[in-house]
Each structure stands twice: as C-alpha cells, then as structure tokens.
Amino acid sequence: MTGSWLITGAMPLGGEPADVLVRDGVIAEIGPGLDAAGSAQTLDAEGLILLPGLVDLHAHLREPGREDAETVATGTAAAALGGFTAVHAMANTDPVADTAGVVEQIWRLGRQAGRCDVQPVGAVTVGLGGSQLAELGAMADSAAGVRLFSDDGRCVHDAVLMRRALEYVRAFGGVIAQHAQEPRLTAGAQVNEGEMSGRLGLTGWPAVAEEAIVARDCLLAAHVGSALHVCHVSTAGSVEIIRWAKSKGWQVTAEVTPHHLLLTEELAAGYDPVFKVNPPLRTADDVAALRAGLADGTIDCVATDHAPHPLEDKETEWQAAAFGMTGLETALRVVHRAMVEPGLLDWAGVADRMSARPAAIGRLAGHGALAAGGPASLVLYDPSPREQVDPAEHASKSRNTPFAGMVLPGRVTATFLRGRPTVLDGKLAW
Amino acid sequence: MNRHLISAGDLSLDDALLILDTAEELASTAERPMKKLPTLRGRTVVNLFYEDSTRTRISFEAAAKRLSADVINFSAKGSSVAKGESLKDTALTLEAMGADAVVIRHGASGAPHRLAGWVRGSVVNAGDGAHEHPTQALLDAFTMRRRLGRIEGLRVTIVGDVLHSRVARSNVLLLSTLGAEVTLVAPPTLLPVAVGGWPCSVGYDLDAALPKADVVMMLRVQQERMNAAYFPSVREYSRRYGLDAARMALLPEHGIVMHPGPMNRGVEIAAEVADSVRSTIVEQVANGVSVRMAVLYLLLGGASETGGQR
C-alpha cells in the first residue's frame, strides 16, 4: 500500500508550486515538472499547501482506562484527519503511564493503529501523586524511548521534586513538561479569575497561579542547567516571563493550545461546560499576547491538549463537568484563522510551530522536516474552503469541541505517514 | 418578560417595576380571610431543591398555593438524585410530568441556565451557588419601597461576603436597574477581584459608609469561610464589619437594616439590631411570598387563559 506517489502542483510551505515524488516511504524528489515514469499514483495538489506532517506534543488519548472517551485507534484517526503524523500521549491514563510497562503498551497500541506515530509521555511522579519520582530512566530505556515527562493535569508543585526531576532527566536528554498551576491558588477553580468569575459566581483561576509556577520553574531550570517545557501557556504574564527566561539563554520552551489562541472567557457566560478547560479560557488581552508570543517564537509551538470526554461528563452543571476540549481535528484550521489570516505567521511559520519545533522539543526523529531524502510524512492543506465545524464528522470518540458550529477556514485534504496515505480527499484512507 | 427568571440582570426597569407593582396588589390578598386566588389553577409548579433551604422553599410553596397551582416538592434528599441521577435526567423527568414552572435551588452556579435548556416550562432561580438569587433581590427591593416609599436614589450599603453571595450579586444588578446607589463594604478578601466593573461603589470602612446609607443590608458569614483565611478571626470580622447598636446609631434617622437570613446573631448582626424597629427582617419574609406570587403569576399567568404553550 505504500507504493509510489506523485503529488503535483502543491505549494511547499505555501511557496512556489512544485511536484513531490514519494517512493519507499521517503521523499525521493521535490521540484518542478517531475515525472514518475508511470509507476506512481498521481495526486493533483494544485492550490494545496504542502507542510511536513504535524507533531502534537500534548494529547490525551485516554487509553488505557477511559476507552469510553477515546482509544489510541480513534485518537490517531482524529490526529491523521487533522494532519498530524505524530502525537505525544499524555500520561494521565488509568493506570498512569508511570512505568516502562504502561508506556510500552501505549507505544505498541500506536504502532498497531498505524495512522500516526504515538510517542508516550511518561509521568514525572508515581501515580501523578506529586510525591515520589516515577522510574524515569526505565521509561527512557524502554521500547517507547520516552524523553518527555509530565504530570499534566496536575502540577509538580513541590519545588524540590521539580528540581530533582529537571536534574535527573539530563542523564538521558529528557525534558520535563510542566502543567503550571499552583494548587492552593486554584482550589476549586472553574474559570479565569476576573470579570467573568465575579459575574458568574464561579471560583476564579487566577493568572498568577500559572505565572508563579512558570517563573519558579524557569529559575529552577536555569539553576540546574536543565530543559523545561511549559505546557499550555494561557496568560500574557507567562509569555513575558518565558520571553525573559529565553533572553537569558535558558533552556525553556513553551506551547500554546489552539483554543487559547482563539477563544476567550466570555464563552462561559451560558455555563455550557463545552467551554470548560484547564487552564481556563482567558481574556482578549491574553489571546493577543499568546498570538504575539507564538509569532515571535517566545512560544515555540502549538499543542492541542486534545482532551476528549464522553457526553455525560459535559452535559452537567458547570462545576460538575470535566475540564477539556477536543482539538486534533481542528488545530490547523484554528491556527490558520488565529495566526495566518491576521498575518502573524506564514505557512513556513506554521510548519515550524506545528511540526519542526515540537518534533525537536519531543526529541522525535523522523518528523518535522520536508526534504528530499527524508521521510515522506506530510500534509496537504486546502486553504480556500470556509466551513462550519461539525462534530458529528469527527473521528474522535468524543464530541466536546468548542468550535462546533463555528466557521473556520481550510481543510486537511491528505496526510501521508512515511509515504503511506492515512487521509485522502479529506477522509481516512483506510 | 423573559420566559425564565434566572438573573436579576435579565430584568428591564419595566419588568422589575411590573413585578413590584403586581406584588403590591397580590399582597393585599394576604390580608383577606380567603387568601387563595384561582389564577394558576391546573398549573404545576415544581420546587426542585438540591440544597436545604426550608425558608425559601416554603415561601415559593406558599406563593404557588395561594395562586391555586399544584405544587410538587422535589428534594435532592431521598430522591433519585441521591442515587446519582444527573440534572438532565431529573429535568427530563419533570418535563414528562408536565411541570409548567420549575423553581430550582442548586449549589452549582449556572444550574438554572442548564435546566432551562432541557425543559419547556419556566425556570425560576431560587439561588444557584455563588451566582444569583433574583427573587431575594426583588423582595428586598419591595421591602425598601414599602418602608421608604421609593427605590430610585436610595443609597444602599451591602456588607459582608460579597465574593460568595448570590444575594449581593442579584441585589447589585436589580438595584442599579431601579436607580439606587449601591455601595459594597467588605474586607478586600471577600470582594471579587474585578468588582470595580460592577455598577456600584466599593469600600472597606463600614463606619464611613453608614451615615450616608438609607439601607444597610448585612450578609450572612458562611461557617466554611470562618476557617479559610478570608479574615483572621470571627471576633475581628465582627468588630470591623458587624452591625451592633453603636454602629446602627450612625445611620440616618430613617435608615433601615436588612438581612436575607438566616442570621448569625453576634457575628454580622447584633441581637438588639436584628430585633430593633429599624430591622425589616421579618417583613422580608412576608414580602417574599408576595413577590414570588408575582413572579409565578407573570411567568405563568399570561398563558393560562388560552391554555397555550409559550
């Protein structure tokens, strides 16, 4: 099924049209007027933008444990439809991915699913409990080759434990991805603390609870000379702190979610928990700062924080509902809308922030580039359509997308993973 | 008027005045030997209470019964709710039973909004979390108007735990619609961080606020706040923000003292203040029935002649 493909007339990184010859899983040639000598299937890609396959540093695939919300199979199908060729699977499964056995299980499930590489993220602490380091070395040495570690969903709030984790993973080139949330400042928190929390009578999640941890962790990372990655940055203050840390030359990277680039806290006004997410939707000023930070590279990449939940966990009172939004299938379109349309990023910039940089942060080989001789993991994106998001069309098992009904630009037309199409004509290829 | 009463902020000036005027008319029926009106005969009002609140529930029950509605009391205790039934399933059950109005009290802010999306009948918010309690604000406004003859231009000082108070939120919204000047007085820890955007002024000094206040409304200090570092001790709170006889003397001669109940005597309000002639606390309870009659009448009564759906 791998076969050979001649993709004609696509615009690599949004540039001048070129043809791409894919053979034996690699990009054999890129250039104008290629001839496949009859042996290849042809894909007319005129008007489509060619990007390297997208890499997500942050997705919740829910397996094992919450297969009612998502499985590795459905999650990777959703990822392929969104143009992704690799996703990092967060560790807050049940059982928690805190041992070599569990991360290998998830890695193997990804291989079986086959539509998208699944790179497990290992938990930093046993059971996400925040008190004892998990066997980080065993996970690094396992078949899954874990390099990114995170207690995502919870913050590693103990400063000593965070310091030790940052130091320890240096031995195998690991990075700690922090969910920055000071727990005491956010007990029972439901929405951004500010005008909306006051009006709605919901407990506030203050920006300072994120910023205080981001600042502390930047200082810790600098002190021990280790790599820190900040998950789902959501406030203008965090962007400033990270900009400052980078100016010092410290090894700090950061991600922002598509929803924090486009949506604001006002959406909570109707108490519909489809807009409930952690960290919460913030203000328009925060959105502007996040966009500017992503544009100037302060924020390295976009990561979805795809967090599927079954209907019954969202069809409830706000404070009883689960936190989280799906995002794999809409991420590129949202970035198109939030970053490309306003002129903040061009398509080369999108490729950098959604493929090259996340692959580099995740220490993931074989992803992130579009070059002759390299793996043919790529996505073709049609920028011209403008269509409503219809969750019923999504391959994710869950329907909790905040973009339902919203008109977004663009459409992922095709995705290739190492030369094999996973998506063709906007639909799963198999 | 809207089909539902969920937020005091949804009421226009005309809506609010209509409710107060209707309540005034209905109040006169309470003085008759035969208190019942036939207005809502055959309509069903469900009191859906997820929190214990005997005072609010019996007030709504009395209001509905005086209008001849059938009343079903659905309490979270001893019902399927205790077995984990979701709000949505409970809503669908009430819908199937033909509830024309659902009066909901719930610990979660926004629960009435969710309910309104699942039932066809009218939803009346009887208090949701730290969000709103619009009929309390209406009965407070009604009480002020009866005692002081007007609301427009009145200076109303609301004192205490504004952060967690649904009564304060609804009162600020309604009283500003009605043209009163509201001042919130509380320790800064018990005010929302963005309170500066509310249609009222804010202060920290009760003694400074009282001489200018036509109305002072004391909010209840919840037991669970007392040990959560919002203030150093109950004694200090009481000393700085409690209303005792000496402080009450700072009010202008016509000034009244309100409290939504239940009171912590000796904490936010001294016993001699609660029982003084300036106190409207017992009247507030009586007025609650009239105001809730008016709300049910206006939400449901209009459709009864035609028997139609809204």
The ipTM of this complex is: 0.91
Q: How many CB atoms lie within 10 A of CB B149?
A: 9
Residue B82 has what pLDDT? 58
Question: Using CA atoms, how far apart are residues A365 and B263, in angstroms rounded to an integer?
Answer: 66
Of B109, B169, B193, the CB nearest to A194: B193
Backbone angles phi, psi at B263, to 5 degrees: -90, 150
Backbone angles phi, psi at A229, to 5 degrees: -120, 130
Lowest mean pLDDT among A34-48, A142-156, A277-291, B140-154: A34-48
pLDDT band at residue B83, thresholds of 50, 70 and 90?
Answer: low
Residues A168 and A160: beta-carbon distance below 8 Å: no
B169: tokens are 């939120």
Q: Which amino acid is at A291?
A: R
Nearest chain A residue to B193, by CA = A194
* Angle between helix A236-247 and A207-224 (nearest 10): 10
Check CB contact of A17 with chain B, cutoff 8 Å. no
Residue B81 has what pLDDT? 59
* Residue B105 designated active-site: yes
A193 CA to chain B: closest CA distance, Å?
A: 7
- Residues 367 through 396 of chain A touching chain B, CB cutoff 8 Å: none
Among the residues of A64-172, which ranges form H helices? 72-81, 100-113, 136-141, 159-168
Of A193, A198, A320, the CB nearest to B108: A320
pTM (2 decimals)? Answer: 0.95
By three-state DSSP, how is residue A86 classified? strand
Q: Spell out the residues 6+ positions from residue A2 whose beta carbon is closer than 8 angstroms to its own.
A: A24, A25, A418, A419, A420
Q: What is the mean pLDDT of chain B?
A: 92
Tens digit of each residue's pLDDT (9 = 90 or more) over A61-111: 999 999 999 999 999 999 999 999 999 999 999 999 999 999 999 999 999
Residue A267, class by beta-carbon neighbours within 10 Å (0-12 exposed, 13-18 middle, 19+ buried)? middle
Query: Mean pLDDT over residues A198-218, rounded?
Result: 98
B166 CA to chain A: closest CA distance, Å?
A: 7
pLDDT band at residue B80, thresholds of 50, 70 and 90?
Answer: low
- Name the more confident of A60 and B51: A60
Candidates B10, B104, B106, B113: best to mutate against A (most CBs of A within 10 A) is B113
Q: What is the mean pLDDT of chain A?
A: 97
Residues A136 and A167: beta-carbon distance below 8 Å: no
Question: Using CA atoms, how far apart are residues B47 and A203, in angstroms rounded to an integer?
Answer: 26
What is the Cα B257 distance to its own chain's centre? 16
Residues A56 and A303: beta-carbon distance below 8 Å: yes
pLDDT at residue A158 tops 60: yes
Contacts A–B by Cβ distance under 8 A: 67
Cis? peptide before A402, omega within 30° of 0: no
Residue A287 has what pLDDT? 98
Residue B305 has what pLDDT? 42
B33: tokens are 């030997």
Q: How many CB atoms lie within 10 A of CB A9?
A: 16
Q: Which of B79, B45, B43 is nearest to B62 (CA)?
A: B45
Residues B39 and B158: beta-carbon distance below 8 Å: no
Residue A176 has what pLDDT? 98
Question: Using CA atoms, how far apart are residues A35 and B7, in angstroms rounded to an integer?
Answer: 68
Q: Which of A412, A427, A314, A420 is nearest to A45 (CA)?
A: A412
State the DSSP string of A226-287: --EEE-S---HHHHHHHHHHHHTT--EEEEE-HHHHH--GGGGGG--GGG--SSPP--HHHH
Question: Using CA atoms, how far apart are residues A185 and A163, in angstroms rounded to an integer?
Answer: 21
A170: tokens are 């240096």
Question: Using CA atoms, how far apart are residues A177 and A229, in angstroms rounded to an integer?
Answer: 4
- Name the more confident of B32 and A138: A138
Q: Spell out the residues 6+ positions from residue A352 whose beta carbon is closer than 8 angstroms to its own.
A: none
Tens digit of each residue's pLDDT (9 = 90 or more) over A102-144: 999 999 999 999 999 999 999 999 999 999 999 999 999 999 9
Query: Mean pLDDT over residues B270-289, rounded?
Result: 95
* Residue A305 designated active-site: yes
Please answer yes or no on whether B88 and A318 come within 8 Å at the CB atom: no
Tens digit of each residue's pLDDT (9 = 90 or more) over A297-314: 999 999 999 999 999 999
Residue A392: how many CA atoms within 13 Å on its side-chain side? 2
Question: Using CA atoms, how far apart are residues A411 and A427, in angstroms rounded to an integer?
Answer: 11
Candidates A199, A272, A283: best to mutate against B (most CBs of B within 10 A) is A199
Q: Spell out the residues 6+ positions from residue A166 whose beta carbon is closer than 8 angstroms to its own.
A: A176, A217, A220, A221, A224, A226, A227, A228
Element (H, E) at B296: helix B281-296
- Residues 180 through 199 of chain A touching chain B, CB cutoff 8 Å: 193-195, 197-199
pLDDT at residue A365 tops 70: yes
* Residue B55 designated active-site: yes
B130 CA to chain A: closest CA distance, Å?
A: 5
Q: Which amino acid is at B145?
A: R
Cα maximum dimension of chain A: 68
Nearest chain B residue to A196, by CA = B194
> Looking up tokens 């009191």, which residue turns up?
B47
Residue A17, class by beta-carbon neighbours within 10 Å (0-12 exposed, 13-18 middle, 19+ buried)? middle
> Looking up tokens 């402080």, which residue turns up?
B247
pLDDT at residue B303 tops 50: no
Identify the structural domains of chain A with CATH numbers, from first to last: 4-49+374-428 (2.30.40.10), 53-361 (3.20.20.140)
Query: Mean pLDDT over residues A239-261, rounded?
Result: 98
Dihedral of alpha carbons B237, B243, B249, B252, sign:
positive
Identify the structural domains of chain B with CATH numbers, from first to last: 8-132+285-304 (3.40.50.1370), 134-283 (3.40.50.1370)
Which among B66, B105, B164, B169 is annotated as catalytic? Answer: B105
Please answer yes or no on whether B194 and A200 come within 8 Å at the CB atom: no
Please answer yes or no on whether A318 and B132 come within 8 Å at the CB atom: no
Question: Using CA atoms, how far apart are residues A18 and A366, in angstroms rounded to an integer?
Answer: 22
> Looking up tokens 């001669």, which residue turns up?
B253
Please answer yes or no on whether B198 and A201 come within 8 Å at the CB atom: no
Element (H, E) at A11: strand A4-12
The rounded radius of gyration (Å) of the Cα atoms in chain A is 21
pLDDT at residue B306 tops 70: no
Of A199, A315, A317, the CB nearest to B111: A317
